[in-house]
Amino acid sequence: MGRPAAIRVTMRRRAATTAALLFLGLGLWQFGGGAWIHVKAALAQVLLKQAWADTRSGETGAKPWPWADTHPVARLEVPGHGVDLLVLAGASGRTFAFGPGHFDGTAAPGSDGTSVMAGHRDTHFRFLEKVAPGDTMTVTDAAGAVRDYTVTGSEIADARTARIRLDSGGSRLVLVTCYPFDAVIVGGKLRYVVTAVAK
């Protein structure tokens, strides 16, 4: 093999190696971006637990980090699915990055009336896909009062037209997340709604 042929082979190998490294780097970057939301959600729960302990000790609006625009308002447990989450004040995208959020204007978690909470379908509220009628959910409020709920059903609703009734009697817990659970494109018009009533 002459020198020009050897140079061409070397250049092809370098080009192939460079392309492989670029694709590997791109894959790692994409994976890292997708994994970051899960890491952030897990780390936030650790910081939120400290803020929750402060709240339970009597501190009002205990922030998990100094610049936080939310604070824990309740603890949501679903023992049959290994779920133990802190619920945050407000239901915005910024809140959902760290945990499920309680909708302002709905009943306080664990109190009489209808309390509405929402969360991301691919992190905190992923478990809703497996929740079934008869499952138990427990809500603990900031004062330490505990209220148990029984899941009565679930439905798929169109976010553009569906409305949650807040004036129904008794104590209800409504959990909402995007649907379908395995959607590639985020957002969308459908929501998965789980309803539970106080025992």
Q: Which residue did the predictor score with more confidence, 60 or 127? A: 127
pLDDT of residue 169: 81
Task: Give the containing element (helix H, strand E) for 79.
Answer: none
pLDDT higher than threshold 60 for residue 138? yes
DSSP code per residue over 20-56: HHHHHHHHHHHHHHHHHHHHHHHHHHHHHHHHHHHHH
pLDDT of residue 26: 64
Integer-rounded Cα Rg, in Å, for the chain is 23
User: Residues 182, 186, 190, 196: is their CA dihedral positive or negative?
Assistant: positive
| pLDDT tens digits along 152-189 | 999 999 999 998 988 878 899 999 999 999 887 777 89
Query: What per-residue string of b and e applies to 130-165 under the rule 16 or more CB within 10 Å gives b?
Result: ebeeebebbbbbbeeeebebebeebeebeeeeeebe
Q: Spell out the domain ranges in the chain.
A: 37-198
Q: Which of 78, 60, 160 is nearest to 117 (CA)?
A: 78
- pLDDT bin (cut points 50, 70, 90) of residue 42 is confident
- Indicate the fold that domain 37-198 takes in CATH: Sortase; Chain: A; (2.40.260)
pLDDT higher than threshold 80 for residue 2? no
- pLDDT bin (cut points 50, 70, 90) of residue 112 is very high
Compute the distance between CA of residue 44 and CA of residue 6 in angstroms, rounded to an integer: 55
Query: How much is the pTM?
Result: 0.78
Is residue 96 helix, strand or coil?
A: helix
- pLDDT bin (cut points 50, 70, 90) of residue 35 is confident
pLDDT of residue 3: 65
pLDDT higher than threshold 70 for residue 30? no
